[in-house]
Each structure stands twice: as C-alpha cells, then as structure tokens.
C-alpha cells in the first residue's frame, strides 16, 4: 500500500493590509521529502498519520511530499503560495501509482487571488492524482468549509477540542482512511453551511454552547454507521466568499443519514446562536485595575484583540499602556506583571544599550497601527537572549529568536524581535530567569490557549482590547462574506432543509 502525505497550513486573518511570505513558513520549518519523516514524528496531524501507519498490520509505503506550516497571520502572497504548491505537486507528479493521499490543511487560509487556499490546493492535487484516489484531510475546526473543498476531498475531519489536539485529529482521519483502504467501503459525506458567525468568547469546547454542540457530535459518532461528525465554528476574522459556520458528517455509505445528521447538527448550532454571543469581556483599564488588586496566584489577562494564534501581530499596546499608567500607584518591589510584545526596533535599541542600561524606546503599535499606536517606555534592560529553543510537545520545536527583558517597576516587558509560538508560553519568561509562579499577572496574546499556564493559573480576565482579532466583529468592514448572516443582518432565517 502506497500513501503520499504532506501539509500546507496557515490560518489567515483578513482584516489587515499585511501579507504573509515564505519567511513565515521557513520560521516553523519548511520540509521536503525524507525531512518529513525525520521531523514530524509525534508532531501535529501528520504525526498522528505516521503513528497510525506504523501501527497497521499491513505494510505501508510512505511517500513524503512537503510540509509548510506558518501558524496564523495575514493573507499569503500569491507568489509564496505558488512556491509552496509546487513543492507539494512536484513530488506528487513523480510519485507513481498511489493508493491514497493524506493532506493536512487548516481550512481558513487565503491567498491574494483566491479566498479559499484549501479549495485551490485540493483542486490542484486532485488534478494530479485523478478522481478515484482516496484523499483524506485533517482540518482545524475553525476552518471555512467550501463547496470546492467538499467536492475535491473524500474525508474532511476537524479537531474535536479547543484547545486543539492536532495529533489526535491526524489519528482519527488516518484511521478512517486506512479502514476505507482495507475494507473497500467508501465513506459518504453530508454537510451544511450555517449562516452565522460568532466571536471567540465561547470557542472553548470545555463549557457553554460549544461543549454542547461538540458533545452531540461525539454522541452521534457512537452509532456504528456514523464515522465522523465534525462541527466547524469558523474563526471570525475571515471575510471571504462562502464564509460562515459549517458541519460535515461522514457515514459508512448511508448518504441520507449523513445528510440528515448534518442538518440536525446545523439546526442545533442555529438554535444556540444567541448563546454563542455571550461575553465576559472587561474594558481595558478596569481589567488592569483588577489585575493589580489580584492576590491569589497568577491571573491571566487575555489580550483578545491581539491574539497571535489567531493571526494578530502581537504588538498591541492597549494593555501595556494601562499597566504602566497604573504601576505608578504600586510599590517598585510589587509582584511582577509579565507582558510580551513584538518590536524588532526596540529589541535592537536594548541590545546595543546592553544589560543594566536604562533605555527610552518607542514600543509596539507599528506592525498593526490600524488598531494600536506606539507608546514611549523608559525601562531598564534586565536580560537579553537569542535563539532559545522551546520544545512544546506535539507542536514541535520553536525558536524564540531575539528577545530582551525591559523592566519598569513591577512591569516586566518581554520584547520579541518576531512573534511566534512562545509568545503565549511560560518558557518565554522562564528562559530569562523569571518565576511565573511569583508573578501577579501575565498578559497572553490569545483568547483560548491558556493551557500552558495551567500549573499557575488562578484567575482569568478576557480583556476587551481592540485589534485584528477583537471580539467586536461589527467594528470590521465586511465585504466578501455572504449575506444575510447572523448577527449582522436583522431577522435572518435559516432552513436546514431536513
């Protein structure tokens, strides 16, 4: 049995004029051929695929193509996409006869000339492998499922949880693919688009309406003839054609059942649509006031508008500005307030000044000056580091790059030359000698991925900060998303067609 595998993953936020180039993919490891086998064991959906392939009784000949992964960011440049696609297609064209293709995608990536990167990639690989070779795709459940994706792929399997278990999704999709290859029974697909969009506030699958919706998917999967039920609450910073929530159901050959369950799952989300808009966001100055008053353990200040994992640049100054303003009322020796920010210019200034020097820098608000502005900060350079590596389990290895620690009273600012995975990870502070357990609060540039701080976390405030990933979705200008859509249009109705 010969199975080719590869990956092109990025999560696009469209509310910025910035663009993502090849360097963003190189930063996370752009791999070709045998490098995939060396680098991806235990990492992400392809790690899950490799694990299942190794566990099967039948011998599997693996044909590694290419792997491009870039976290979240702005739209991908057309020329970068063309290069990445060719890296995937070239070995696929010369792969010879294949029994299947396993292709890891995000589902919410856009390039300049096409809103739907995944649809374009699937169309291109289908063109090479022909209509009959099974094509399985693990996806992020924040994907925007499009007609082209459903037409081109055979299996579209989303994450079961937020925070995501990316390896587990790879395992699930790979098992369905191998079962198909071994039994010869082709899965059938049913799906629905749901005309709604919601902010990230209720995105965790551990509680609220999202838990109810995902729990129902797991319940339906208990039925023998149901292979997979994947809800897709699309990430909300994506203004694209066919934008909106979706659900995809795979059954063991029963097309009517797949269709009926997709309709049922769609109706369930639609009926809960108001609940998905419930919010506990706190205005910036009030959130910071509460943070300084916080006594017991570590408080997490979630910078919801500047979520790096959601595609924002990580250089918002909204919370930092308020932390510095309110710090004057605090003792110098107060428990630390930890804040990350991206600013390569400030890193250069601090590095040339050296450890112990006092510097005055214009900080942040430069990459994304649509939503926040630079602030002037005078602080002591307390530490400098370069190219420290973070090992983050199934996320693989990430390099922190150039970093400086600036201290101004109780506010400890870790300035990064470039954003990256570590921006929401305790390693960013620990590698500079800071004790996360002693801190009063930490700002995290995410609205969902707090899990890395679980050992210390005692409280959480979702800060209503402006930015590319803000929860106030009505403040963006939407031009591509199909209308009418809930909640932007009054009295939207939807019929699942059940």
Interface positions with Zn ion (CB under 5 A) = 140, 142
> What's the burial of 465, exposed, middle or buried (CB within 10 Å: 0-12/13-18/19+)?
buried
Nearest-approach distance from CB 447 to Zn ion, in angstroms? 11
Q: Answer for the pair 45, 169: CB distance below 8 angstroms, yes or no.
A: yes
**Distance from C-alpha of 353 to C-alpha of 425, rounded to nearest angstrom:** 27
163 preceded by a cis bond (ω within 30 of 0): yes
Nearest-approach distance from CB 196 to Zn ion, in angstroms? 17
**Distance from C-alpha of 177 to C-alpha of 172, rounded to nearest angstrom:** 9
Q: Answer for the pair 66, 31: CB distance below 8 angstroms, yes or no.
A: yes
Alpha helices in 162-304 (DSSP H): 166-183, 208-220, 255-271, 284-293
By beta carbon distance, the residue nearest Zn ion is 142
Rg, the chain, Cα only:
23
Element (H, E) at 72: strand 61-73
When the beta carbons of 104 and 251 are compared against Zn ion, the nearer one is 104
When the beta carbons of 205 and 372 are compared against Zn ion, the nearer one is 205
Nearest-approach distance from CB 144 to Zn ion, in angstroms? 12
Nearest-approach distance from CB 228 to Zn ion, in angstroms? 17
Burial readout 110-134 (b: 16 or more C-beta within 10 A, e: otherwise) = bbeebbbbbbbbbeebbebbeeebb
When the beta carbons of 160 and 464 are compared against Zn ion, the nearer one is 160
When the beta carbons of 187 and 305 are compared against Zn ion, the nearer one is 305
When the beta carbons of 230 and 496 are compared against Zn ion, the nearer one is 230
Nearest-approach distance from CB 10 to Zn ion, in angstroms? 12
When the beta carbons of 46 and 87 are compared against Zn ion, the nearer one is 46
When the beta carbons of 187 and 310 are compared against Zn ion, the nearer one is 310
When the beta carbons of 142 and 172 are compared against Zn ion, the nearer one is 142
When the beta carbons of 142 and 351 are compared against Zn ion, the nearer one is 142
When the beta carbons of 142 and 431 are compared against Zn ion, the nearer one is 142
Nearest-approach distance from CB 203 to Zn ion, in angstroms? 8
Q: How far is CA 70 from the centre of its chain?
A: 10
Nearest-approach distance from CB 113 to Zn ion, in angstroms? 24
- Per-residue DSSP letter, 454: T
Nearest-approach distance from CB 164 to Zn ion, in angstroms? 6
Inter-CA distances, 230 with 106, 112, 155, 174, 333, Å? 14, 28, 11, 15, 50
Nearest-approach distance from CB 44 to Zn ion, in angstroms? 12
Q: Answer for the pair 287, 319: CB distance below 8 angstroms, yes or no.
A: yes
Q: Answer for the pair 265, 446: CB distance below 8 angstroms, yes or no.
A: no
When the beta carbons of 140 and 154 are compared against Zn ion, the nearer one is 140
**Distance from C-alpha of 139 to C-alpha of 166, rounded to nearest angstrom:** 9
Nearest to 1 by CA among 58, 50, 77: 58
Inter-CA distances, 59 with 52, 182, 264, 332, 366, Å? 12, 12, 39, 64, 53
Nearest-approach distance from CB 72 to Zn ion, in angstroms? 8
When the beta carbons of 107 and 364 are compared against Zn ion, the nearer one is 107
Nearest-approach distance from CB 471 to Zn ion, in angstroms? 16
Nearest-approach distance from CB 85 to Zn ion, in angstroms? 22
Nearest to 337 by CA among 431, 412, 409, 429: 412
Inter-CA distances, 54 with 5, 63, 136, 175, Å? 14, 14, 17, 12
When the beta carbons of 379 and 398 are compared against Zn ion, the nearer one is 398
Nearest-approach distance from CB 170 to Zn ion, in angstroms? 14
Inter-CA distances, 343 with 6, 24, 246, 494, Å? 33, 16, 37, 45
- Helix%, strand%, coil% for the chain, nearest 5: 35, 25, 40
**Distance from C-alpha of 167 to C-alpha of 49, rounded to nearest angstrom:** 8
């Amino acid at each position: 049995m010969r199975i080719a595998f590869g990956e092109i993953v990025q999560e696009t936020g469209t509310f910025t004029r910035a663009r993502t180039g090849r360097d963003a993919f190189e930063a996370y490891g752009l791999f070709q051929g045998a490098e995939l086998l060396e680098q991806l064991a235990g990492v992400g959906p392809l790690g899950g695929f490799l694990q299942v392939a190794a566990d099967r009784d039948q011998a599997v000949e693996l044909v590694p193509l290419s792997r491009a992964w870039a976290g979240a960011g702005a739209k991908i440049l057309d020329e970068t996409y063309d290069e990445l696609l060719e890296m995937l297609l070239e070995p696929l064209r010369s792969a010879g006869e294949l029994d299947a293709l396993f292709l890891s995608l995000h589902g919410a990536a856009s390039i300049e000339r096409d809103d739907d990167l995944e649809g374009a990639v699937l169309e291109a690989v289908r063109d090479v492998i022909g209509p009959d070779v099974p094509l399985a795709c693990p996806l992020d459940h924040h994907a925007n499922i499009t007609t082209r994706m459903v037409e081109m792929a055979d299996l579209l399997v989303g994450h079961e949880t937020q925070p995501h278990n990316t390896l587990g999704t790879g395992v699930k999709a790979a098992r369905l693919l191998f079962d198909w290859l071994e039994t010869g029974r082709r899965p059938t697909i049913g799906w629905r688009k749901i005309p709604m969009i919601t902010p990230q506030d209720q995105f965790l699958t551990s509680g609220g309406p999202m838990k109810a919706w995902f729990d129902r998917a797991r319940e339906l999967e208990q039925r023998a003839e149901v292979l997979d039920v994947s809800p897709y609450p699309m990430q909300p910073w994506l203004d694209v054609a066919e934008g909106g929530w979706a659900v995809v159901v795979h059954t063991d050959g029963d097309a009517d059942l797949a269709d009926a369950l997709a309709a049922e799952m769609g109706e369930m989300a639609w009926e809960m649509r108001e609940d998905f808009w419930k919010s506990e966001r706190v205005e910036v100055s009030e959130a910071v006031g509460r943070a300084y008053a916080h006594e017991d353990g570590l408080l997490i200040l979630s910078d919801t508008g500047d979520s790096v994992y959601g595609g924002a640049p990580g250089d918002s100054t909204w919370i930092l500005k308020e932390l510095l303003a309110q710090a004057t009322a605090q003792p110098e020796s107060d428990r630390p307030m930890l804040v990350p920010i991206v600013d390569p210019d400030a890193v250069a200034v601090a590095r040339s000044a050296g450890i112990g020097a006092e510097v005055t820098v214009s900080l942040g608000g430069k990459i994304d000056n649509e939503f926040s502005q630079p602030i002037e900060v005078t602080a002591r350079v307390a530490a400098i580091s370069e190219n420290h590596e973070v090992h983050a389990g199934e996320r693989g290895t990430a390099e922190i790059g150039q970093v400086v620690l600036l201290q101004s009273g109780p506010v400890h600012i870790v300035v990064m030359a470039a954003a990256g995975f570590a921006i929401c990870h305790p390693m960013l502070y620990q590698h500079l000698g800071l004790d996360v357990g002693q801190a009063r609060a930490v700002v995290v540039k995410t609205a969902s991925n707090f899990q890395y701080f679980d050992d210390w976390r005692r409280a959480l405030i979702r800060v209503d900060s402006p930015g590319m990933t803000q929860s106030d979705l009505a403040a963006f200008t939407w031009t591509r998303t199909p209308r009418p859509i809930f909640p932007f249009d009054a009295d939207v109705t939807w019929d699942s067609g059940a």
